[in-house]
Copies of this chain bind each other. A is one copy, B any other.
Amino acid sequence: MDPTDAAACSIARTLDVVGEKWTFLILREVFRGVRRFDDVRVATGAPRQVLSERLASLVDRGILRREPYREPGQRPRHEYRLTDRGFDLYPILIAMLAWGDRHLPAPDGPALRAAHRDCGADVRIALRCEAGHEVAALRDVVPRPGPGARRAQTVAGSSGSRV
């Protein structure tokens, strides 16, 4: 990929880790507390080989960790748990859930909800800026080049003065 400002952004790097449908569906299951290979396989419908590869990749990238367990009379196996880094992906899944609920609603209502532990109401994404303001409308969020973009532009041959 070219060293353009956009290609170097955090969205692209995030997608290198989780930018694939099965990966998100596997993570959804782990967030729901489904942690064992066969349970994740049944819940997602992922082919065995795909699931095996995706789980290995998520462990490699520090999103999941393997924890040993042993059922009586069985050989030792592993279950998969979220690392802190993996747990921080939760807002992405909540944002996907909200978009699907709104724009691709199921006839019988949502199958899965993200609920507030204290009161049980559905949790929604809100936006706040680092100066502490509530950002009420999506139109008030504007993309801007960051410091990493300047260098990328300079490397790519421009003057670096355009920000």
Render A1-40 as a binary contact track against B, CB cut-off 8 A, 1 for contact: 1101111111111111101110011001101111000000
**Number of copies of this protein chain within its complex:** 2
Q: A9-B97, A32-B6 given as contacts; is B146 within 8 A of A110 (CB)?
A: yes
Who on chain B is nearest to A112 by CB?
Answer: B9
Residues of A contacting B: mostly: mixed
Task: Let me know if B146 and A109 touch, CB within 8 A.
Answer: yes
- Shortest CB–CB separation between residue A84 and chain B, in angstroms? 9
A133's partner among B109, B113, B118, B152 (CB-CB below 8 A) is B118
The answer on a CB contact under 8 Å between B25 and A15 is yes
Chain B nearest CB: distance from A73 CB in Å?
Answer: 27
